[in-house]
Structure 1
Amino acid sequence: MSDATTAPRRLEPGDEAPAFTLPDADGNEVSLSDFRGRKVVVYFYPAASTPGCTKQACDFRDNLAELDEAGLAVVGVSPDKPAKLAAFRDNQNLNFPLLSDPEKSTLTAWGAFGEKKMYGKTVQGVIRSTFLVDEEGRIEVAQYNVRATGHVAKLRRDLKV
């Protein structure tokens, strides 16, 4: 069995968050290290402008003030190209960075790309995942296979935000 078909390594609390530098919707580079000294929610989603991903992004948008007040930044990552992310951001009035990882290297490093079940079949794809990275760059919370709907409310309950 090749590495391409094996389950990805999953991050766990206490692990160092894999570094990344990716272009945002405007082509500007954003690095995980830009958030050093602040907690950041990094979430991975399959595709901009699809129903589930739109619901999840809008939930983050609608809860951003409370998350920000609690000291949490938010950043979304998908394999979409910056132009598609810009259209998604503008269409949905999203108020946090969306990052582009078309090579899926960051998705893979975070365990958010690999084998998953979809409609009863095993496929390769983005595993909808959410992480809380602490001020020092370590994983505080790692959630894989999250649901698009209701996820932000659950995250807020879990984090007491």
Structure 2
Amino acid sequence: MALNVGDIAPSFELADTELKMRALDEFKGEKIVLSFIVAASSPVCEVELCTFRDSWKEISDMGAQVIAISNDGPFANKAFAEKHNFNFPLLSDYTSKTIRDYDVLMPDLLHIKDYNAAKRSVFIINEDGKIGYKWVSEDPLKEPNYEEIKNFLK
């Protein structure tokens, strides 16, 4: 079932790069820029998450926190995060449960049967836990509109 602006964001509990379980609830009370990426270390995901890293202060000053989710394992995510010095959590949804809960599953990535990934997507979850902004791309090579995201946060 597709999520829409105004819906309550589905909760999750996923492993971070240090194998610590992180839940959506721990970020309550602030806006969350929730970025689903296709694959750790892929070129477009690298650009996207580095853009969020480089915008960290500006996003943080607007009262928001970035959280990225991929279906890669925590070890692949850790190597990716360390290589690029990400200053926000990169969470591992290796079962794709949260990806399914947000209705952004991309099955058979690159036409490889059963190789599931997340559609490149961004949700902004407001302080009340409701989705305030939603962007989902069917094209894994398309980046989100970063200015639109920042304008929404203002």
1:144 is the counterpart of 2:133: no
Counterpart position of 2:55 = 63
1:42 is the counterpart of 2:13: no
CA contact (8 A) 1:25 1:99 kept: yes
Which ranges in structure 1 are unaligned for 5 or more consecutive residues? 1-8
**1:126 Cα offset (Å):** 1.8
**1:87 Cα offset (Å):** 0.6
**1:11 Cα offset (Å):** 1.0
Cα distance change of structure 1 residues 93 and 18 upon mapping to structure 2, 3 Å threshold: same
Counterpart position of 1:155 = 149
Cα distance change of structure 1 residues 152 and 48 upon mapping to structure 2, 3 Å threshold: same
**1:58 Cα offset (Å):** 0.2
Q: 1:113 aligns with which of 82, 99, 105?
A: 105
Distance in 2 of aligned mates of 1:126 and 1:51: 15
Within-5 A mapping of 1:46-125 = 46-114=38-106, 125=117
**TM value normalised by structure 2:** 0.88
Q: How many residues align?
A: 149
Of the two, which has the highest radius of gyration?
1
Distance in 2 of aligned mates of 1:13 and 1:115: 24
Counterpart position of 1:23 = 15
Cα distance change of structure 1 residues 13 and 100 upon mapping to structure 2, 3 Å threshold: same
Distance in 2 of aligned mates of 1:28 and 1:117: 28
**1:23 Cα offset (Å):** 0.5
User: What is the root-mean-square deviation of aligned Cα atoms in Å?
Assistant: 2.1
Aligned-residue identity in percent: 31
**1:22 Cα offset (Å):** 0.4
Distance in 2 of aligned mates of 1:117 and 1:46: 9
Counterpart position of 1:4 = none
**TM value normalised by structure 1:** 0.84
**1:115 Cα offset (Å):** 5.2
Counterpart amino acid of 1:30? R
Cα distance change of structure 1 residues 140 and 152 upon mapping to structure 2, 3 Å threshold: same
**1:32 Cα offset (Å):** 0.5
Distance in 1 of aligned mates of 2:147 and 2:83: 23
